[in-house]
Amino acid sequence: MTTFSVAEIAARCGGRVSGDGELRVAGVRALDRAGLSDLSFAADAKSERKAVASRAGALLVRSAAAFPGRTVIEVADPQGALAAVLLLFHPRRVPCGGVHPTAVVGPGASIDPSAEIGPYAVIGQGTRVGAGAIVEAHAAVGRDCELGEGAWLHPHVVLYDRTAVGARAEIHSGSVLGADGFGYAPSPGGIVKVPQVGRVVIEDDVEIGANTCVDRATLEETRVSAGTKIDDLVMIGHNCSIGRHSILCGQVGLAGSTTVGDGVILGGQVGVAGHLRIGNGVKAGAQSGIDGDVPDGEAIWGSPHMHHRLALRVAAELRRLPDTARAVRELIARGKKVEDGENR
Amino acid sequence: MTTFSVAEIAARCGGRVSGDGELRVAGVRALDRAGLSDLSFAADAKSERKAVASRAGALLVRSAAAFPGRTVIEVADPQGALAAVLLLFHPRRVPCGGVHPTAVVGPGASIDPSAEIGPYAVIGQGTRVGAGAIVEAHAAVGRDCELGEGAWLHPHVVLYDRTAVGARAEIHSGSVLGADGFGYAPSPGGIVKVPQVGRVVIEDDVEIGANTCVDRATLEETRVSAGTKIDDLVMIGHNCSIGRHSILCGQVGLAGSTTVGDGVILGGQVGVAGHLRIGNGVKAGAQSGIDGDVPDGEAIWGSPHMHHRLALRVAAELRRLPDTARAVRELIARGKKVEDGENR
Amino acid sequence: MTTFSVAEIAARCGGRVSGDGELRVAGVRALDRAGLSDLSFAADAKSERKAVASRAGALLVRSAAAFPGRTVIEVADPQGALAAVLLLFHPRRVPCGGVHPTAVVGPGASIDPSAEIGPYAVIGQGTRVGAGAIVEAHAAVGRDCELGEGAWLHPHVVLYDRTAVGARAEIHSGSVLGADGFGYAPSPGGIVKVPQVGRVVIEDDVEIGANTCVDRATLEETRVSAGTKIDDLVMIGHNCSIGRHSILCGQVGLAGSTTVGDGVILGGQVGVAGHLRIGNGVKAGAQSGIDGDVPDGEAIWGSPHMHHRLALRVAAELRRLPDTARAVRELIARGKKVEDGENR
């Protein structure tokens, strides 16, 4: 098992050691599970209280002051430092260059020798796989697709024809990129399918969770821009464009032709109607139902959505609505009594 | 690259040419991407304004009047015409008859010679695959299944035993048809599974998106009737019956034993409780929560659902609820003051 | 075709025969489909009325009194008895011990001889597969995983490295266990991934539906405890812990680090925020949005959630909200008129 000294770990995450820098650390564990050879971490006041009681040999914390006599690494941002430290212990999987003998590679496909193609993967004709890319077991890559340098398809990912996945993008199992968008035209004989002949483009450093669907455009592109992170079971309709460094939580659904800006955060199960423009930096609370354009920087919540602050007040009043309604009925009854008295 | 003349395209979609019928068109593009050798289209007033500025060599529009000097194809329904024109440029994939050498076909399975079975597909024993059907890579078809003429399973589709898929039905990647319904009985020792021994029937011309689940019935059938279109990540519980030419948008969920009529439209993320009857022609807005039967032809919205018109008024009043509640408190306070005055 | 006598069936489910115990039954059918050689069942008053009209040769009912002259099996709990009877006709699939020649088994993996590994399954190095386990076609099992006795992975299940699946647990097609949790840290250069180095543990007798995702923990474990049943398209975020004998219906979503107790029922499409504690025996209605801890035994509904009884009253008042708000405006107007009169 590889171990690192506290000093090495501090160097990796830009932290300051207080205590025994020579202490060997074997791994990173949760506060309540860590032992003497483990590092743990506390990013907020609540965790810091738990950290005091933790048996962790070393701690990644905001300040050493609360931990007299303990070996700690001080960092401004323990959460960010944790990412760096975990990467030290668990580096990203290195591709074993080569094509598994059971993989089926179509004619004219070009696979960089440093890329790894796993068992039973299928690579369509004309597809290009970049240096250091990983295509795991059973991934099905269509024709004329493009995988950038270091792109990583987990087992059972499906790419329909002409899908592009950028450098270092990571797509988790079961996700389907490029299936037909949901486009139909009514006709006297029933519903007629509008062929979906565009494609899907996933830019660099995007991560997509498991069993998520990004549908191909009707004519042009459905695009997820660089650095954006998408969780499990999300659906992105055809012709959508998602900006850079945005976060789409689990089970979010976007109908077609909607544009989402940069730095947007959509909470879990948020639904967004079609043909909308969600501005840069928008934050939408979980289960919001967005049925209109949202200006840059707005915080929203509710279904249908409203300003987040208003939504909080509405939610509070909703619980009182039966009381409020009863009060109204009493006011009406009293008013009637007064009027009856006057009219008598 | 195959090109078509404007006259040929007009003939295909039943349109009238105004301008240069001999112009060769290389493809169909969006208004803002189309060039001189492309056709684009405008189906509403907003698109027509954009179409005037488009560099498209030819346009599919409702009327030539707004486009003097341009080459246009006039049609009553540009959206429907677009479907026909796209099919001209991008015809449905033709099966390359034959079974890939890596496919595993069970004993007693019968596969029409014109059907295409892709790499690593698995076809269970006793299954029949009709003429011109396509089973793509890694599709797993159970025992005693039936695929109609021209049925199309995209990569990674799973059919549990005894599932039937009708003629020309198209199932997108990752969808699972026939997994066990969610049926349990409470017991002193915990929850006991009720074996789910029915099956799933998908009728002709149905399209099902990616990663959708249709669960097998407890005893009889879960059925999706002819011409119905289902989007990605939809869940159809056991024993449900969906009518003809209905549309279920992304992430819709139906609990068990619910009947949905013909020509129904369920918006994105709609949830429907179990054992209900949703009538013909019902339209439910996105995120509706349907917890009771809905009569034929009704438009509904909201969670729990109500008439669409009422739901719109409720949504509008909801935003004003904090103000309304404050007004009620003021009225009460004023009433109290008046009473106090009278009693003094 | 195997048949059983009514007496044999009654013995299996602990019922009492009234009528012809020697009658041979060929199968179990729905009331409206059953014929003379079929058994059907009625678990409530509504079904009992239908049962009278049914042509079923035998009936599983609460009391023979309503069925004079018919052959019935009386049981206290027809739903539970149905589970036992269906298992008689459709016993759980017995594994055909052995590894399909197309399966890829990594070095150091240990597979019990009685386990069945299907075509194109991939078993990672160091993984242990217990006695009588079934791994169906295309299942992709990572390294150092563990499958308990009689565990059953349906086609296309994916297990990431180090996932444990307990005895008799059944995982339906397309489900992904152990994909990376959704953990990121903001940084000046964009969003930085926090490596997810924990794992997923599924305990004994758990059933998981199709296309469901359970994400691996950041450091320790995401756990689903014994006997819990999870439906299709559910998402369990990283670090969650689900108790014993709980029921999570279709499309439920749990954000990270939430603890769900024993015997909990979450209705369809329920969303639960992160870092919460949902107590034992909690029942949440469909589409609830749970944004705070819930004490043991509570029944809740709504988004955001409230007590179920309050939620019912709120839902009823919501439909009247436009009328209530109009009444408030009239009261204000009348009050103003009165004041104006007094001031004149």
The pLDDT value recorded for residue A344 is: 62
More confident residue, C2 or A153: A153
Residues of chain C short of pLDDT 50, as ranges, are none
Chains that touch A (3 or more CB pairs under 8 A): B, C
> Measured between CB atoms, which of B187, B219, B310 is closest to C319?
B310
- The mean pLDDT of B285-307, rounded to a whole number, is 98
- Across the interface, whether the CB atoms of B220 and C120 are under 8 A apart is answered no
pLDDT tier, A156 (very low <50, low <70, confident <90, very high otherwise) = very high
Q: How many CB atoms lie within 10 A of CB B52?
A: 13
- To which residue do tokens 């009219």 refer? A343
> Measured between CB atoms, which of B155, B247, B251 is closest to A253?
B251
Of B180, B144, B150, nearest to B164 (Cα)? B144
> Measured between CB atoms, which of B255, B314, B328 is closest to C322?
B314
B153 CB neighbours in chain C (<8 A) are none
Give helix then strand counts, H and E, for chain A: 4, 40
Of B257, B252, B256, B210, nearest to B235 (Cα)? B252
Of A124, A127, A170, nearest to A145 (Cα)? A127
In chain A, what is the greatest distance between 2 CA atoms, to the nearest angstrom? 99
Nearest residue in B to C169, CA atom: B193
DSSP codes of every residue in A230-253: E-TT-EE-TT-EE-SS-EE-TT-E
The pLDDT value recorded for residue A335 is: 82
Cα separation values, C128 from A305, C133, C145, C175, C200, Å = 49, 10, 6, 20, 15
> Residue A312: how many CA atoms within 13 Å on its side-chain side?
6
pLDDT digits (tens, 9 = 90+) for B219-241: 999 999 999 999 999 999 999 99
> Measured between CB atoms, which of C87, C247, C268 is closest to B255?
C268
Nearest residue in B to A318, CA atom: B321
CB B304 within 8 A of CB B284: no
> Measured between CB atoms, which of B255, B302, B324 is closest to C325?
B324
Q: What is the ipTM of this complex?
A: 0.96
Residue B16 has pLDDT above 90, yes or no: yes
Task: Give how far the C-alpha of residue A305 lies from the chain's centroid of Cα atoms, to the nearest Å.
Answer: 21
CB C286 within 8 A of CB C253: no
Nearest residue in B to C314, CA atom: B304
Q: CA-CA distance, A251 to C301, in Å (whole number)?
A: 20
CB B49 within 8 A of CB B63: no
- The mean pLDDT of A140-153, rounded to a whole number, is 98
Residue A247 pairs with which residues in a beta bridge?
A229, A265
> Measured between CB atoms, which of B87, B247, B332 is closest to A195?
B87
The pLDDT value recorded for residue B130 is: 98
A302 CB neighbours in chain B (<8 A) are 318
B232, B252, B339: best to mutate for the A interface, most A CBs within 10 A:
B232
A235 CB neighbours in chain B (<8 A) are 231-233, 250-251
User: Which active-site residues of B does the annotation give?
Assistant: 238
pLDDT tier, A193 (very low <50, low <70, confident <90, very high otherwise) = very high
Nearest residue in A to C142, CA atom: A155
Q: Which two tokens stand for residue C297?
A: 């035994």
Taking the CA of residue C96 and the nearest CA in chain A, the distance in Å comes to 23
Q: Which residue is catalytic, options C90, C238, C275, C307?
A: C238
Of A31, C125, C144, C119, nearest to C134 (Cα)? C119
Of B297, B274, B269, nearest to B285 (Cα)? B269
pLDDT tier, B246 (very low <50, low <70, confident <90, very high otherwise) = very high
B173, B182, B218, B338: best to mutate for the C interface, most C CBs within 10 A:
B182
- Across the interface, whether the CB atoms of A30 and C233 are under 8 A apart is answered no
By three-state DSSP, how is residue C229 classified? strand
Asked whether the whole model's pTM tops 0.90, one would answer yes
Chains that touch B (3 or more CB pairs under 8 A): A, C
pLDDT digits (tens, 9 = 90+) for B257-282: 999 999 999 999 999 999 999 999 99
Taking the CA of residue B29 and the nearest CA in chain A, the distance in Å comes to 6
Q: Which two tokens stand for residue C120?
A: 């194109």
- Across the interface, whether the CB atoms of A90 and C174 are under 8 A apart is answered no
Identify whether B304 is preceded by a cis peptide bond (ω within 30 of 0).
Answer: yes
A106 CB neighbours in chain B (<8 A) are none
Residue A343 has pLDDT above 70, yes or no: no
B163, B193, B270, B291: best to mutate for the C interface, most C CBs within 10 A:
B193
- The mean pLDDT of A304-330, rounded to a whole number, is 97
Q: CA-CA distance, C31 to C40, in Å (whole number)?
A: 6
Q: Which two tokens stand for residue C183?
A: 């953990």
- The mean pLDDT of B286-303, rounded to a whole number, is 98
Nearest residue in A to B252, CA atom: A253
- Across the interface, whether the CB atoms of B324 and A320 are under 8 A apart is answered no
pLDDT digits (tens, 9 = 90+) for A280-290: 999 999 999 99
pLDDT digits (tens, 9 = 90+) for A43-53: 999 999 999 99
Nearest residue in A to B213, CA atom: A211
Sheet containing C283-284: give its strands across.
Answer: C98-99, C116-117, C134-135, C152-153, C170-171, C207-208, C229-230, C247-248, C265-266, C283-284, C299-301, C306-307
DSSP B217: P
- The mean pLDDT of A243-259, rounded to a whole number, is 98
The pLDDT value recorded for residue B335 is: 82
B334 CB neighbours in chain A (<8 A) are none
Residue A294 pairs with which residues in a beta bridge?
A278
Residue B298 has pLDDT above 90, yes or no: yes
pLDDT digits (tens, 9 = 90+) for C82-138: 999 999 999 999 999 999 999 999 999 999 999 999 999 999 999 999 999 999 999
End-to-end CA distance of chain C: give it in Å, rounded. 95
Of A87, A52, A86, nearest to A70 (Cα)? A52
Mean pLDDT of all residues belonging to chain A: 96
Nearest residue in A to C308, CA atom: A319
Residue count of chain C = 344
Q: Which two tokens stand for residue A41?
A: 């971490």
A253 CB neighbours in chain B (<8 A) are 233, 250-251, 268-269
The pLDDT value recorded for residue B343 is: 66
C185 CB neighbours in chain A (<8 A) are 77, 79-80, 82-83
By three-state DSSP, how is residue C118 classified? coil
pLDDT digits (tens, 9 = 90+) for B121-178: 999 999 999 999 999 999 999 999 999 999 999 999 999 999 999 999 999 999 999 9
- Across the interface, whether the CB atoms of C179 and A86 are under 8 A apart is answered no
The pLDDT value recorded for residue B336 is: 83
The pLDDT value recorded for residue C12 is: 95
Cα separation values, B279 from B247, B292, C144, C221, Å = 13, 11, 51, 46
- To which residue do tokens 């052995």 refer? C98
The pLDDT value recorded for residue C343 is: 66
C182 CB neighbours in chain A (<8 A) are 209, 229, 231-232, 249-250
Taking the CA of residue B66 and the nearest CA in chain A, the distance in Å comes to 24
The pLDDT value recorded for residue B338 is: 77
